[in-house]
């Protein structure tokens, strides 16, 4: 399997060309579009060939995808890999052709695919996959295969893919056996054009069965007559009363049926079935409720801040006598130290630049997702777009870090640029490389091939790093930002602070509100990633993103104001850590989600989960910290430029 997964150099070049084309397309595409060009409807006439493609095997218990043909399933004469974009490869998708071929609107009954004899190794692999509840994923006309399930409220829900098999017991026996689903009853739903005989596929469902097939006569390939499944004798598979057991040395005959059903669902609405797999009412109500609470708190904070600040500034500007000036207290007292460069100012510049890069990436990606360009039908499109936009946003990262660095009187702009270009991407690449090595050790299709890794490094060094240097050069050429007040040569002594103004306490308190703005949405995002469900409510996600920005900014400004009023002028790093501490709560919530919602038992799978969530938490820390810092930076410049300093 390694040789087939290894990708050739021309494919890598095609990715890079496709990447450039996608960026140009996203920039030029009109806002009215809801599907990327290329994801267009296909019309099928009666009898037209409908090739079924197979995708990875997935399990929520292991989170390790495997290629379809890693198990002893029937294979076509030649296995052909479908062209995959960068996002699909990183997701572990392995889309290949299959021996299942339908003819449009021509039902088939009891079609034999092949007969296989299971060896010791194959039987062991099948039992392991059945034990871990692996599901088989297939695709027809870009629609994933689903299994319909009747819920307790009598409504029908859909689950992606069907189980490889089931574990059970024979009647009267306590010994557990493993049974494979070797008969598939497919249902293809189509929408027929009123003016022609052409049809479009709008649904792809399956009912899997385990059946121990019996031969009517000797084996004659796909033309063999079966006594257990014979449409001529009106014997069809409708149950798994005599299931096919998985045992070494036993033969398994794979069969399938195909049914066609006309549907009123139009092609443009065919994904609605997949996007409504879960109950949305709780989702929508919770998000709206969360947004209302956060908006109310934000309004209260803004009102208090505006009234208090207005009173402070009016009082400071009305001081006339020397006696009044000597009795002055509050944030005006530290005006000579408030813009003193902090310790480790270089690192702060790097973090702020990286945070600006994240902010730009999320903003642009979410805008295009809201407009419908990154719908689930464009498989892997979201991840591809995020990677490409991240690379292009290196320009903003270099610009922001160098502007701040120059304000701190820094002169070695190339050094700060290198750190901006390599610090966070380097950490991410090391974590990703270690996790990828673990996946490779498990022989999973989720392991990123070497050529894909090389393409990622090429995007990093060939596009991102040069853009960071360009942005840094442009930012350093600009005149330095001048503080509104002069900085004293001798630092002022900071008085002893009250217990509630302790840096650790205020930082931990400051992260609660931003986390509260996103934690409900975070539940659904984690569910979509780790329980393999579709995430599609990008409109609400964008709204939550806006609320996150507001809450990060306001809670940081409020705590910064209290800090300055306590005559503590070391606000630079604290402002970054105040809102950035929400990442700690995000990671703790991810751990809570792991132990309460997931059924992961393998050590490697647990390492993968916490490794990726650590990376996500680091990214969230950089993003929220930068938002809080920028808000606080704007706030301090605003208030100190508003008072008269003698």
With bands split at pLDDT 50, 70 and 90, how would you rate the model's confidence at 158?
confident
| Cα distance between residue 180 and residue 252, in whole Å | 9
pTM: 0.84
C-alpha torsion 104→108→114→117, nearest 10 = 130
The pLDDT of residue 293 = 65
What is the average pLDDT across 352-369?
94
* Residue 82, number of CB atoms within 10 A of its CB: 14
Instruction: Look at the block and give the residue holding tokens 């197979």.
Output: 54
pLDDT of residue 326: 43
pLDDT at 4 over 70: no
Cβ neighbours of residue 41 closer than 8 Å, sequence gap 6 or more: 200, 267
Cα(133)–Cα(113) distance, integer angstroms: 24
Alpha helices (H) in 318-380, listed in sequence order: 322-326, 345-370
Q: In what order do the strands lie in the sheet with 183-192?
A: 108-117, 251-262, 183-192, 199-209, 146-150, 156-160
Q: What's the mean pLDDT in 612-638?
A: 94
Residue showing tokens 């052409």: 198
The token duo for 591 is 């751990």
Q: How would DSSP label each residue in 506-543? A: HHHHHTHHHHHHHHHHHHHHHHHHHTT-----HHHHHH
- pLDDT of residue 329 exceeding 70, the answer is no
User: What is the per-residue pLDDT for 174?
Assistant: 80
Angle between helix 512-530 and helix 503-510 axes, rounded to 10 deg = 50
- In sequence order, which residues have a C-beta less than 8 Å from that of residue 214 and are 6 or more positions away? 226, 227, 228
Domains of the chain, residue spans? 48-274, 344-479, 517-638
Q: With 60 as the cut, is the pLDDT of residue 557 above it?
A: yes
pLDDT reported for residue 8: 35
pLDDT digits (tens, 9 = 90+) for 559-581: 888 888 888 888 899 999 999 99
Query: Is the per-residue pLDDT at 70 higher than 80?
Result: yes
Distance linking the first and last C-alpha atoms of the chain: 76
For 114, residues 6+ apart whose C-beta sits below 8 A from its C-beta are 74, 75, 99, 222, 253, 254
Please give the Cα distance from 265 to 192 (Å, whole number). Answer: 10
pLDDT score for 1:
36
Taking only the tens place, the pLDDT of each residue in 191-242 is: 988 778 889 999 999 999 999 988 877 777 777 888 888 887 778 888 878 8
Compute the residue count for the chain. 646
35 Cβ partners below 8 Å, 6+ apart? 372, 375, 377, 378
CA–CA separation, 116 vs 477, rounded Å?
Answer: 70
Nearest to 555 by CA among 168, 276, 198, 294: 294
Give pLDDT, residue 197: 80
* Three-state DSSP state, 411: coil
Specify the higher pLDDT residue, 7 or 92. 92
Q: How far is CA 18 from CA 37, 85, 87, 95, in A?
A: 13, 8, 12, 18
pLDDT (tens digit, 9 = 90+) per residue, 302-317? 776 777 767 767 766 6
**Angle, vertex CA 329, rays to CA 323 and CA 332, nearest 5:** 105
In a 10 Å sphere around its CB, with 0-12 CB exposed, 13-18 middle and 19+ buried, how is residue 194 labelled? exposed
pLDDT at 25 over 50: no
- C-alpha span between 521 and 414 (Å, rounded): 40
Alpha helices in 59-168 (DSSP H): 86-91, 120-131
Structure tokens at 571: 């606000």
* For residues 472-489, average pLDDT: 85
For residue 251, report the phi and psi dihedrals to the nearest 5 degrees: -90, 140
pLDDT band of residue 17 (cuts 50, 70, 90) is very low
User: What's phi and psi for 167, nearest 5 deg?
Assistant: -110, 130
List of residues 6+ apart from 94 with CB closer than 8 A: 5, 55, 56, 65, 67, 68, 81, 84, 445
- State both tokens at 525: 């995002």
Structure-token pair, residue 475:
């930012």
**pLDDT: which is higher, 449 or 396:** 396
7 pLDDT tier (thresholds 50, 70, 90): very low
Residue with the bigger pLDDT between 294 and 61: it is 61
* Residue range 509-533, pLDDT digits in tens: 989 888 988 888 888 888 888 888 7
pLDDT at 541: 84
CB-based burial, 604-619: b 16+ in 10 Å, e otherwise: bbeebbbebbebbbbb
Strand-pairing partners, residue 212, are none
Helix axes 280-317, 603-640, angle to 10 degrees: 30
Nearest C-alpha neighbor of 398 from the set 381, 420, 379, 423: 420
Owner of token pair 């630079």: 572
C-beta of residue 192 within 8 angstroms of C-beta of residue 262: yes
Confidence at residue 426, expressed as pLDDT on a 0 to 100 scale: 94
pLDDT digits (tens, 9 = 90+) for 392-412: 999 999 999 999 999 988 888
Q: What angle do CA 337, 340, 342 make, to 5 degrees?
A: 125
Residue 225 or 301, more confident: 225
What pLDDT, on the 0 to 100 scale, is given for residue 39?
58
DSSP string, 192-235: E-TTSS-EEEEEEEEEEE-----BSSS-BTBT--BSSSBGGGTB
């Amino acid at each position: 399997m390694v040789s087939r997964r290894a990708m050739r150099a021309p494919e890598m070049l095609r990715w890079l060309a496709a990447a450039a084309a996608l960026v140009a397309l996203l920039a030029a595409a009109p806002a009215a579009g809801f599907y990327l060009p290329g994801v267009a409807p296909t019309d099928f006439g009666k009898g037209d060939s409908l090739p079924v493609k197979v995708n990875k095997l997935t399990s929520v218990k292991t989170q390790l995808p495997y290629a379809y043909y890693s198990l002893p399933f029937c294979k076509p004469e030649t296995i052909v890999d479908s062209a995959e974009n960068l996002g699909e490869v990183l997701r572990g998708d392995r889309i290949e052709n299959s021996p299942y071929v339908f003819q449009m609107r021509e039902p088939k009954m009891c079609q034999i695919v092949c007969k296989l004899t299971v060896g010791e190794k194959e039987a062991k692999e099948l039992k392991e996959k059945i034990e871990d509840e692996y599901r088989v994923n297939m695709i027809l006309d870009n629609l994933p295969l689903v299994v319909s399930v009747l819920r307790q409220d009598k409504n029908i829900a859909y689950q992606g893919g069907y189980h490889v098999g089931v574990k059970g017991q024979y009647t009267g026996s306590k010994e557990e056996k493993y049974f494979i689903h070797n008969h598939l009853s497919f249902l293809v739903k189509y929408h027929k054009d009123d003016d022609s005989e052409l049809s479009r596929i709008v649904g792809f469902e399956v009912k899997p069965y385990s059946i121990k097939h019996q031969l009517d006569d000797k084996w004659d390939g796909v033309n063999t007559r079966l006594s257990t499944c014979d449409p001529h004798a009106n014997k069809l598979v409708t149950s798994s009363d005599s299931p096919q057991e998985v045992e070494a040395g036993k033969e398994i005959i794979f069969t399938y049926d195909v049914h066609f059903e006309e549907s009123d669902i139009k092609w443009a609405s065919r994904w609605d079935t997949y996007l409504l797999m879960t109950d949305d009412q709780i989702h929508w109500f919770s998000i709206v409720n969360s947004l209302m609470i956060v908006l109310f708190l934000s309004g209260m904070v803004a009102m208090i801040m505006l009234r208090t600040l207005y009173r402070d500034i009016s009082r400071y500007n009305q001081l006339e006598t020397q006696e009044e000036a000597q009795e002055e207290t509050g944030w005006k007292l530290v005006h000579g130290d408030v813009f003193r460069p902090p310790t480790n100012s270089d690192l702060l510049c790097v973090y702020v630049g990286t945070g600006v890069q994240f902010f730009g990436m999320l903003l642009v990606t979410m805008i295009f997702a809201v407009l419908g360009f990154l719908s689930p039908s464009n498989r892997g499109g979201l991840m591809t777009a995020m990677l490409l936009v991240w690379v292009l946003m290196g320009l903003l990262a270099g610009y922001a870090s160098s502007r701040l660095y120059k304000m701190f009187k820094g002169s070695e702009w190339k050094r700060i640029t290198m750190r901006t270009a390599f610090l966070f991407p380097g950490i991410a690449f090391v974590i990703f490389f270690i996790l990828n090595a673990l996946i490779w050790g498990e022989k999973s299709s989720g392991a990123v091939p070497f050529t894909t890794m090389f393409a990622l490094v090429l995007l990093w060094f060939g596009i991102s790093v040069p853009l960071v240097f360009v942005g840094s050069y442009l930012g350093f050429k600009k005149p330095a930002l001048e503080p509104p007040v002069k900085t004293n040569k001798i630092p002022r002594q900071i008085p002893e602070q009250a217990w509630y103004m302790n840096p650790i306490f205020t930082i931990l308190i400051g992260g609660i509100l931003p986390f509260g703005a996103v934690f409900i949405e975070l539940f659904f995002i984690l569910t979509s990633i780790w329980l393999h469900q579709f995430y599609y409510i990008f409109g609400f996600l964008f709204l939550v993103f806006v609320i996150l920005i507001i809450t990060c900014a306001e809670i940081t400004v409020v705590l910064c104001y209290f800090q300055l009023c306590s005559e503590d002028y070391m606000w630079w790093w604290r402002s970054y850590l105040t809102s950035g501490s929400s990442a700690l709560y995000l990671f703790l919530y991810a751990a809570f989600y792991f132990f309460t919602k997931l059924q992961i038992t393998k050590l490697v799978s647990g390492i993968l989960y916490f490794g990726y969530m650590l990376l996500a938490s680091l990214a969230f820390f950089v993003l929220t910290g930068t938002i809080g810092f920028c808000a606080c930076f704007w706030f301090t410049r605003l208030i100190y430029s508003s008072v008269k300093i003698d």
